Structure 1
Amino acid sequence: MNFLVFGGTSEGRAVCRWLIRRGVSVTVSVATDYGGTLMEASGCRVFTGRLDEEEMVSRMERESFDCVIDATHPYAEEVSRNIRAACERVRLPRYRLGRKGEEMADCQLAPGPTESAELLTDTSGNILLTTGVKELHFFGKIPRERLYVRILPSVESLQMAEEAGVMSSHLICMQGPFSKALNAALLRQWDIRFLVTKCSGKAGGFSEKLEAAKETGVQVIAIGRPAGDEGMDWETLVRLLEEDYGLCEEEQR
């Protein structure tokens, strides 16, 4: 069997490992070289580069895939829409792997990055952004001396942060998720007063961020997940793949 997996996420890597252990040939599509490097260790064939709907259709038609698994980030709305549309056009089964939500106590919820930036307009004190480098432009009106940004350790992320005017001394280039202790240490190190994050679930270390913020007295602003295709949890995906493709149940993730 030949499966196509989209996503350089931790869930995507787990799916690839699970499939490979069951003798499935896996091709994975990731957006960046950094994501590709992480996926190569899983033992699958990797294609790197952002694809639009037409490019996805072309790749699906070129190769004899049995199904597609969308394990992209829960905030990658456009990518998931393109995957869904491409699969419908070529009539390929699609499985969307989602993330379980977390309790939203002890934080202020914002519907999007624009609203989260507006909440910070009349505040003072340092801000730690952990939303990803693509959201930096929403915070353009905030003085750069207040802004600390945690990004992935990739050339692309560094270039985008530099273009957004973030000072190099205010950049934290690390691959997460992070423990409560490390989050708390970073919040104390830079005297952070506000932490902006996405509701990224367990895989994104969301609860550890909340716990660290509570311990250090930091106000959390959480960007809510986009409405739409929430996807299924890990247990449901495994069960369906076993039932639909006869994959043997072996060790779990």
Structure 2
Amino acid sequence: MHRPDMHQDCRHQSGRRLWLVAGTGEGPELAERLLTLGWQLTVSVVSAPAALAYRPHSELTLRVGALGGEVAVEAELVAAASSGRPYSVVVDASHPFACQVSRQLMAGCARQRQRLLRLQRPTLEGPATLLPALETLRAVPLAGQRLLLAIGARQLAAAVALSPSALHHARLLPSVSSLQQAMAAGLTAERVACLRPGSALAVERALVRRWRINTVLARQSGGSTEQLWRRICCTEGLNLLLLCRPQEPAGLESLDAAALLATLAGWTPPRP
């Protein structure tokens, strides 16, 4: 499920152990707050670059790699319990569009009767055109528009095919896979930018100015990336299209950041 060579294992026993599945968005700040509250953390991230956002701590274990499916999630919970150090709670702070991750966590936790909490990102306000699905991009008038695709590499080819009258540009993560998918979608090298998450506002603004972008297609993530594109589009007078956030699985216990931290601050381990 994870690459063991990337672990920073905790050494102490405690009844307040938590498995946090996150990334580079709210994950690092949430981890810091939970450590302050006295929790021992196992934090799962997808890639080694994402792990760099987490400050080393004696009570923090970092694990890098994909979850590996429902069976692997369940195996992680069983292994923790078998070692005498079970998780008190699992927190799903994965990206709102990482639907598969949330489903895997929910299924694995349900089978092991493990408490699972979902971090619910806020719904941001401001001018934007919401697209219920990527397919609805076909109906948006984009003839002659210089369109910046900021939706990741997986849906890049589909977005290009659904907006044939636009001049496409892409803002992607710096990975070989992302570049390969951009080239396969027909974008030329001079219309692709590879930047890490959390790039400075000035860098992103310079990018849209250099390319003379008219319209940005991003995702309704509810996080810092959506905030960034909202701000840039507002100040630069650009049209903002947002892919609607997927619905959370039914029955998932979702809490905003404040409610989640309040719940975990008052957590009392069950008596043996």
Q: TM-score, normalised by structure 1?
A: 0.84
Counterpart AA for 2:264: L
1:65 paired to 2:82 = no
Unpaired segments ≥5 residues, structure 2: 1-15, 81-85
Match of 1:131 in 2: 151
Shift of 1:145: 8.5
Match of 1:191 in 2: 212
Does the residue aligned with 2:53 lie in a helix, a strand or coil? helix
Distance 2:174 2:56 in 1: 20
Structure 1 residue corresponding to 2:69, chosen from 24, 35, 52: 52
Does the residue aligned with 1:221 lie in a helix, a strand or coil? strand
Match of 1:160 in 2: 181
Does the residue aligned with 2:72 lie in a helix, a strand or coil? helix
1:107 paired to 2:119 = no
Unpaired segments ≥5 residues, structure 1: 247-253
Q: Deviations over 1:44-64 (max 9, x none)?
A: 322222221111111111112
Counterpart AA for 2:258: E
Distance 1:206 1:57 in 2: 33
Q: Which moved more, 1:142-151 or 1:52-61?
A: 142-151
* The structure with more helix, counted as a fraction of residues: 1
Q: Deviations over 1:163-219 (max 9, x none)?
A: 434322222222334565444332221011110011122x32323322322333321
Aligned pair in 2 of structure 1 residues 157, 21: CA closer, same or farther (>3 Å)?
Answer: farther
1:219 paired to 2:239 = yes
Q: Which moved more, 1:71-80 or 1:150-159?
A: 150-159
Distance 1:89 1:32 in 2: 27
Give the superposed CA RMSD. Answer: 2.5
Match of 1:83 in 2: 105
Task: Confirm or deny: 8 A CA contact 1:113 1:223 kept in the other structure.
Answer: yes
Distance 2:56 2:256 in 1: 21
Aligned pair in 2 of structure 1 residues 187, 71: CA closer, same or farther (>3 Å)?
Answer: same
Distance 2:218 2:201 in 1: 14
Shift of 1:129: 1.1
Counterpart AA for 2:96: P
Q: Over alpha carbons, which structure has the higher Rg? A: 2
Aligned pair in 2 of structure 1 residues 82, 126: CA closer, same or farther (>3 Å)?
Answer: same
Identity of aligned residues (%): 26
Does the residue aligned with 2:106 lie in a helix, a strand or coil? helix
Distance 2:51 2:199 in 1: 21
**Matched length:** 242
Distance 2:180 2:142 in 1: 29
Distance 1:93 1:245 in 2: 13
Shift of 1:33: 3.0
Task: Confirm or deny: 8 A CA contact 1:13 1:42 kept in the other structure.
Answer: no
Distance 2:23 2:231 in 1: 26
Aligned pair in 2 of structure 1 residues 157, 238: CA closer, same or farther (>3 Å)?
Answer: same
Does the residue aligned with 2:214 lie in a helix, a strand or coil? strand
Task: Confirm or deny: 8 A CA contact 1:152 1:175 kept in the other structure.
Answer: yes
Aligned pair in 2 of structure 1 residues 184, 232: CA closer, same or farther (>3 Å)?
Answer: same
